[in-house]
């Protein structure tokens, strides 16, 4: 019974923290606001999480794993392009409905140093989407002119409203711009640039 209560309290703290992080970001979130959302004491919160950093890292890890799992799901009987479309719709829907997922994604972008995985959350989602894009390309040649990782980055930027990943320096930013520009402005299939 005490263990069930501890699990429920932990989930309550994570949910309250997720709401705060999703609304205010990492820097704008205060543990006092999380405590107020839960109607608990600071001691109860610290009984589960030793710091704001640990709380954020846990959200990135746990809610992030769910996002990655959703990005990797495939409808076995669906065409690759349709499966990619459904994956993007599912991720978008999940982010809209689940504050834990929204906070995990926002935290992964704003405070990537808190991500405990070797590959960051956004990169793991991007790699999964790039594999799905590659399958769609191989199956239907619809997206064959563009590298799968470029298309995956574009999808993440458009659907999740985040630049992924943030450019390392000016040269990286210039290369990413060139890659995306090529992806979106190439000649149309069967036509010329002047049509």
Query: Helix 148-160 to helix 170-185 angle, to the nearest 10 degrees?
Result: 90
Task: List pLDDT tens digits, range 8-62.
Answer: 889 999 999 999 999 999 999 999 999 999 988 888 888 899 999 999 999 999 9
Task: List pLDDT tens digits, range 82-91.
Answer: 888 899 999 9
Structure tokens at 193: 């640039």
Percent of the chain at pLDDT above 90? 49
Mean pLDDT confidence for 103-107: 95
Q: Which of 187, 87, 179 is nearest to 136 (CA)?
A: 87
Is the separation of the CB atoms in 153 and 176 below 8 Å?
Answer: yes
Q: Which of 16, 20, 14, 21 is nearest to 105 (CA)?
A: 21
DSSP string, 114-169: G--SSS-HHHHHHHHHHHHHHHHHHHH-TTTTS-HHHHHHHHHHHHH---SSPPSS
**170 exposed, middle or buried (CB, 10 Å; 0-12, 13-18, 19+)?**
exposed
Domains of the chain: 2-184 (1.10.357.10)
Percent of the chain at pLDDT above 70? 85
Q: What pLDDT does 98 receive?
A: 95
Task: List pLDDT tens digits, range 131-146.
Answer: 998 888 888 755 566 7
């Amino acid at each position: 019974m005490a263990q069930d209560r501890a699990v429920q309290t932990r989930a309550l703290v994570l949910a309250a923290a997720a709401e705060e992080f999703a609304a205010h970001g990492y820097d704008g979130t205060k543990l006092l606001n999380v405590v107020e959302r839960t109607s608990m004491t600071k001691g109860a919160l610290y009984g589960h999480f030793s710091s704001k950093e640990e709380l954020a890292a846990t959200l990135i890890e746990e809610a992030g794993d769910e996002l990655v799992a959703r990005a990797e799901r495939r409808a076995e009987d669906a065409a690759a392009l349709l499966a990619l479309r459904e994956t993007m719709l599912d991720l978008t829907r999940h982010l809209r409905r689940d504050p834990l997922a929204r906070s995990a994604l926002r935290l992964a972008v704003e405070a990537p140093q808190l991500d405990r995985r070797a590959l960051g959350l956004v990169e793991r989602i991007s790699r999964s989407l790039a594999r799905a894009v590659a399958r769609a390309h191989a199956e239907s040649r619809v997206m064959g002119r563009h590298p799968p990782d470029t298309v995956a980055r574009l999808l993440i930027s458009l659907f999740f409203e985040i630049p992924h990943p943030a450019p390392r320096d000016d040269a990286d930013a210039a290369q990413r711009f060139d890659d995306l520009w090529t992806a979106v402005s190439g000649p149309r299939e069967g036509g010329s640039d002047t049509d």
